[in-house]
């Protein structure tokens, strides 16, 4: 038998039908939906007069537009309230499981899927959200889709999809202290650009990837889309199995052992051919920040903004208020955002809290600390992280997508700089006119206590 | 359900010579609270088109009366970022039927095809030629022939072929959509489920560890 990539193994075993010269009909094991990209899909089903084909394979959560304060109250913004109510109604009508605001299982769709044990190795997973690639950290084919495809998944538990090409990104070596999984992925994206993996599905491999925790792997896979990749996955290993083993209702299932046995076979065969192979060295990576308006415009925190000269490049620098050749360390900033499906997990809050402990929030800095889920929020409280944050002048909010896309009121004002642990620094992403600098939770913490772009390694050493 | 059929279009073009145009620019997130597919066209490129007070920004191409038409020509990696199909609804809502670029983000491309908006992928050099021609002569007319998979500038410009998968081409030419196709093969899907339930117990059995 020809050696096969993990991607091809999972994909091929989910093809219900191959259409000649066209896409595959791909079976979807797990479908996630949220309030923003699903209403038109349900409306489509109604117009066609058809039911949801497999309602138990879709899970719904409200995350994108909900407030991160006072979630027990009615959502103040009328449009947002309507949208969340609509999701709840649609789920009731079509018999889909729904975790609304305040529910102990609620949270950002890409945080709750893995932590509640819905996302399992070997699955195919889709969601009307480009960061669905997050779930690839558990060895799944997971990718974002549009609303027409959400309707397909609801109507038939399948979507029509052209098989992407395969790319392997091997990261050798080990990350240095103060350098995180977020820096690793920002580094890779800066190397290959925001469109550099378009048309590909990535497998991450190598010692630096293997040594990451599940949270770290999710951060890496999450941002696969930011280099244009359809998705990114990591072969499941002991770290994955131990993570899954900590999800009690899953590990106590009587078939858990047989599942484990099968998950162990989920890896690329030796000699499997990828359409493209890239390799990087983790030892070379320093804490990363972005200076432009796409995630590919990143550099080491102590680096210098390059000079590319193109109209698009200059437009981006103009928006950010930066010049080629300048450094960003020491730049005063006004806002810090810790959270999102990229960095809203317990490990991220631990890292942030660890650095701000026994320090104080800098004067003039507004920080939004938003857990990725109710479970993360609860765990942060159980570990006393909320107290550490409060002592340093920060407040832990309630879960949601929040300032990552600023659909709720968590907006960064025009012209202000925000050091953000989220995934996109697009123009206006965090609010009209907002200027986003993407960074790790450690770099965000360093900015929060100094009020400037600060190399977190300088604080970790003291 | 029918989507609008696509065959041949001849139209003037709107040039947008920027790279990496993301879907947040095409339709900012604050407009995503709507629950229907209509009404997004007016907010296409909202923050590039209008200032904070709602006045038109001079210099942005959609505010330039010289440029009209149903074909948008944009720099590479068009439609990157968020999966929001609202971006496509905004583009079609504004009246565009095709977007030409040297490459599109994958999700945007699928969303476009699912809504009868044709993504035309051309070589980088041809894109540069097209943009330069349109910018110097705004009344230039481009012809896009989906059947023959050819794009050219009228009356006698070079004919350049573009790729599209055969199935999607057929769907666009006939105005068919995928859901009719998928719902017509439910028996095949059920049979697939049966085969795989026997093989893989963790799949296809409505696995809800904490849910119920």
Chain A residues with CB under 8 Å of B196 CB are 13, 27
Dist CA A426 CA A134 (whole Å): 20
A409 cis-preceded (ω within 30 degrees of 0): no
- pLDDT at position A249 is 83
**Beta strands, E only, A292-413:** 298-300, 335-338, 366-369
Query: Is A145 in contact with B83 (Cβ distance < 8 A)?
Result: yes
CATH code (residue B85): 3.20.19.10
Chain B residues with CB under 8 Å of A310 CB are 19
* pLDDT of residue B202 exceeding 60: no
- pLDDT at position A66 is 97
ipTM over the 0.90 cut-off: yes
Nearest to B167 among A23, A118, A151 (CB): A23
pLDDT in tens, B192-201: 999 987 555 4
Query: Is A118 in contact with B209 (Cβ distance < 8 A)?
Result: yes
Q: Assess A244–B contact: CB distance below 8 Å, yes or no.
A: no
Q: Is residue B207 part of a domain?
A: no
Query: Is B17 in contact with A429 (Cβ distance < 8 A)?
Result: no
pTM exceeding the 0.95 threshold for the entire prediction: yes
Q: Which domain holds residue B106?
A: 8-174
Nearest to B33 among A43, A65, A157 (CB): A65
Task: Measure in Å the smallest separation between the Cα of B154 and chain A Cα atoms.
Answer: 28
Residue whose token pair is 């699903």: A38
User: Which residue, A166, A25, A127, A158, is CA-closest to B167?
Assistant: A25
Question: Hey, what are B200's tokens?
Answer: 């893989």
User: Which residue, A176, A230, A195, A446, is CA-closest to A330?
Assistant: A446
Chain A residues with CB under 8 Å of B30 CB are 406-407, 432
User: Which residue, A108, A139, A113, is CA-closest to A205?
Assistant: A139
Q: Assess A164–B contact: CB distance below 8 Å, yes or no.
A: yes
Compute the 3-state secondary structure of chain B and give helix, strand, coil in percent, each to the nearest 5: 35, 20, 45
Cα dihedral A76, A79, A80, A86 sign: positive
User: What DSSP string runs through A54-97?
Assistant: -GGGEEEE--SS--SS-TTSPPSSHHHHHHHHHHHHHHHHHT-E
Q: Number of C-alpha atoms within 13 angstroms, CB side, residue A191?
A: 16
Chain B residues with CB under 8 Å of A23 CB are 165, 167-168
Nearest-Cα residue of chain A relative to residue B191: A16
- pLDDT at position B199 is 56
Nearest-Cα residue of chain A relative to residue B80: A228
Q: Is residue B2 part of a domain?
A: no
Nearest to B22 among A27, A47, A294 (CB): A294
Task: Measure in Å the smallest separation between the Cα of A182 and chain B Cα atoms.
Answer: 18
Nearest 5°: phi and psi at A156? -140, 0
Task: Measure in Å the smallest separation between the Cα of B201 and chain A Cα atoms.
Answer: 8
Query: Is A156 in contact with B186 (Cβ distance < 8 A)?
Result: yes
Residue whose token pair is 């210098």: A304
Domains, chain A, in order of start with CATH, read 6-277 (3.30.499.10), 289-460 (3.30.499.10)
Those of residues 292-311 in A touching chain B at CB distance below 8 A are 294, 296, 310-311
- pLDDT at position B206 is 42
Nearest-Cα residue of chain B relative to residue A21: B166
Nearest to B77 among A19, A44, A228 (CB): A228
Dist CA B187 CA B202 (whole Å): 22
* pLDDT of residue B203 exceeding 60: no
Task: Measure in Å the smallest separation between the Cα of B79 and chain A Cα atoms.
Answer: 10
CB atoms inside a 10 Å sphere around CB B35: 19
Nearest to A427 among B47, B77, B165 (CB): B47
What single DSSP character describes residue A264? T
**Which element (helix H / strand E) includes A110?**
helix A109-115
Instruction: State the alpha helices, DSSP H only, in A157-287.
Output: 181-192, 207-210, 214-222, 238-245, 248-251, 256-263
Chain B residues with CB under 8 Å of A315 CB are 18
Nearest to B203 among A29, A249, A296 (CB): A29
Q: What angle do CA A253, A259, A262 make, to 5 degrees?
A: 175
Q: Is residue B130 part of a domain?
A: yes
- pLDDT at position B191 is 96
The mean pLDDT of B151-167, rounded to a whole number, is 96
Q: Judging by beta carbons within 10 Å of its beta carbon (0-12, 13-18, 19+), is residue A424 exposed, middle or buried?
A: buried
Those of residues 306-345 in A touching chain B at CB distance below 8 A are 310-312, 315
Task: Measure in Å the smallest separation between the Cα of A450 and chain B Cα atoms.
Answer: 31
Those of residues 30-89 in A touching chain B at CB distance below 8 A are 36-37, 39-40, 43-44, 47-48, 50, 53-54, 56-57, 59, 64-65, 77, 79-80, 82-83, 86
The domain tally of chain B equals: 1
- pLDDT at position A269 is 98
Dist CA A25 CA A162 (whole Å): 9
Cα dihedral A61, A66, A68, A70 sign: negative
β-bridge mates for residue A366, sequence order: A335
Query: Is B34 in contact with A79 (Cβ distance < 8 A)?
Result: yes
Dist CA A66 CA A346 (whole Å): 20
User: Which residue, A145, A128, A225, is CA-closest to A185?
Assistant: A225
Dist CA A339 CA A361 (whole Å): 17
pLDDT band (50, 70, 90) for residue B210 = very low
A108, A123 contact by CB (below 8 A)? no
- pLDDT tens for chain A, 462 residues long, are 899 999 999 999 999 999 988 899 999 999 999 999 999 999 999 999 999 999 999 999 999 999 999 999 999 999 999 999 999 999 999 999 999 999 999 999 999 999 999 999 999 999 999 999 999 999 999 999 999 999 999 999 999 999 999 999 999 999 999 999 999 999 999 999 999 999 999 999 999 999 999 999 999 999 999 999 999 999 999 999 999 999 988 988 888 999 999 999 999 999 999 999 999 999 999 999 999 999 999 999 999 999 998 999 999 999 999 999 999 999 999 999 999 999 999 999 999 999 999 999 999 999 999 999 999 999 999 999 999 999 999 999 999 999 999 999 999 999 999 999 999 999 999 999 999 999 999 999 999 999 999 999 999 976
Chain B residues with CB under 8 Å of A84 CB are none
Dist CA A363 CA A127 (whole Å): 40
User: Which residue, B63, B39, B69, is CA-closest to B49?
Assistant: B63
CA distances from A117 to A111, B105, B179 (A): 11, 31, 30
The mean pLDDT of B42-52, rounded to a whole number, is 96
Chain B residues with CB under 8 Å of A312 CB are 18-20, 75
Question: Hey, what are B190's tokens?
Answer: 């059920």
- pLDDT at position B1 is 66
CB atoms inside a 10 Å sphere around CB B4: 11
Q: Is residue B202 part of a domain?
A: no
Dist CA A458 CA A419 (whole Å): 17
Q: Is residue B69 part of a domain?
A: yes
Inter-chain Cβ pairs, chain A and chain B, closer than 8 A: 230
* β-pairing verdict for B8-16 and B141-145: antiparallel
């Amino acid at each position: 038998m020809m050696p096969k990539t993990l991607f091809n193994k999972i994909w091929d075993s989910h093809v219900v039908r191959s259409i000649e010269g066209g896409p595959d009909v791909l079976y979807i094991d797990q479908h996630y939906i949220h309030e923003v990209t699903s209403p038109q899909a349900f409306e489509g089903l109604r117009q066609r007069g058809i039911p949801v084909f497999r309602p138990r394979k879709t899970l719904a959560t409200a995350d994108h537009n909900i407030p991160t304060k006072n979630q027990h109250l009615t959502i103040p913004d009328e449009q947002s309230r309507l949208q969340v109510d609509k999701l709840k109604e649609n789920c009731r009508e079509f018999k889909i499981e729904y975790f609304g605001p305040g529910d102990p299982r609620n949270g950002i769709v890409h945080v709750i899927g893995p932590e509640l044990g819905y996302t399992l190795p070997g699955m195919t997973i889709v969601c009307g959200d480009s960061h669905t690639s997050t779930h690839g950290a558990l060895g799944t084919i997971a990718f974002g889709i549009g609303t027409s495809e959400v309707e397909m998944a609801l109507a038939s538990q399948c979507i029509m999809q052209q098989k992407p090409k395969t790319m392997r990104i091997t990261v050798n070596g080990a990350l240095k202290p103060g350098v995180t999984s977020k820096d690793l992925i920002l580094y890779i994206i800066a190397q290959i650009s925001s469109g550099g993996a378009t048309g590909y599905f990535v497998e991450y491999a190598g010692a630096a990837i293997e040594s990451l925790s599940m949270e770290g792997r999710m951060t890496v896979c999450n941002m696969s889309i930011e280099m244009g990749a359809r998705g990114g996955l990591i072969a499941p290993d002991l770290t994955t199995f131990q993570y899954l083993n900590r999800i009690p209702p899953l590990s106590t299932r009587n078939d858990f052992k047989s599942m484990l046995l099968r998950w162990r076979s989920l890896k690329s065969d030796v000699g499997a051919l990828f359409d493209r192979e890239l390799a990087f060295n983790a030892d070379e990576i320093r804490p990363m920040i972005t200076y432009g308006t796409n995630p590919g415009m990143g550099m080491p925190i102590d680096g210098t903004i390059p000079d590319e000269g193109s109209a698009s490049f200059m437009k981006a620098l103009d928006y950010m208020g930066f010049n080629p050749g300048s450094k960003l360390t020491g730049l005063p900033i006004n806002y810090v955002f810790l959270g999102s499906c990229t960095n809203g997990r317990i490990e991220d809050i631990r890292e942030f809290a660890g650095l701000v402990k026994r320090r104080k929030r800098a004067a003039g800095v507004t920080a939004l600390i938003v857990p990725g889920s109710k479970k993360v929020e609860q765990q942060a409280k159980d570990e006393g992280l909320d107290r550490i944050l409060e002592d340093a002048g920060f407040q832990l909010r309630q879960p949601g997508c929040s300032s990552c896309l600023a659909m709720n009121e968590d907006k960064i004002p025009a012209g202000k700089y925000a050091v953000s642990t989220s995934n996109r620094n697009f123009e206006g992403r965090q609010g009209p006119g907002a200027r986003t600098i993407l960074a790790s939770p450690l770099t965000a913490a360093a900015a929060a206590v100094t009020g400037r772009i600060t190399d977190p390694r300088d604080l970790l050493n003291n | 359900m029918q989507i609008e059929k696509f065959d041949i279009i001849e139209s003037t073009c709107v040039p947008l010579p920027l790279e990496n145009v993301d879907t947040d620019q095409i339709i900012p997130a604050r407009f995503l609270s709507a629950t229907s597919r209509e009404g997004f066209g007016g907010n296409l490129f909202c923050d590039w088109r209008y200032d904070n007070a709602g006045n038109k920004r001079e210099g942005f191409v959609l505010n330039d009366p010289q440029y009209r038409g149903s074909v948008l020509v944009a720099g590479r990696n068009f439609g990157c970022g968020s999966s929001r199909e609202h971006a496509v609804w905004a583009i079609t809502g504004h009246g565009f039927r095709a977007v030409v670029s040297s490459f599109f983000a994958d999700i945007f491309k699928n969303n476009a095809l699912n809504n009868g908006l044709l993504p035309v992928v051309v070589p980088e050099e041809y894109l540069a030629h097209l943009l330069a021609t349109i910018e110097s002569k705004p009344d230039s007319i481009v012809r896009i022939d989906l059947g023959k998979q050819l794009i050219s500038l009228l009356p006698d410009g070079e004919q350049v072929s573009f790729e599209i998968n055969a199935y999607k081409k057929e769907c666009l030419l006939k105005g068919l959509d995928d859901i009719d196709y998928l719902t017509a093969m439910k028996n095949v899907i059920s049979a697939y489920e049966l085969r795989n339930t026997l093989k893989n117990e963790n799949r296809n059995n409505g696995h809800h560890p904490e849910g119920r």
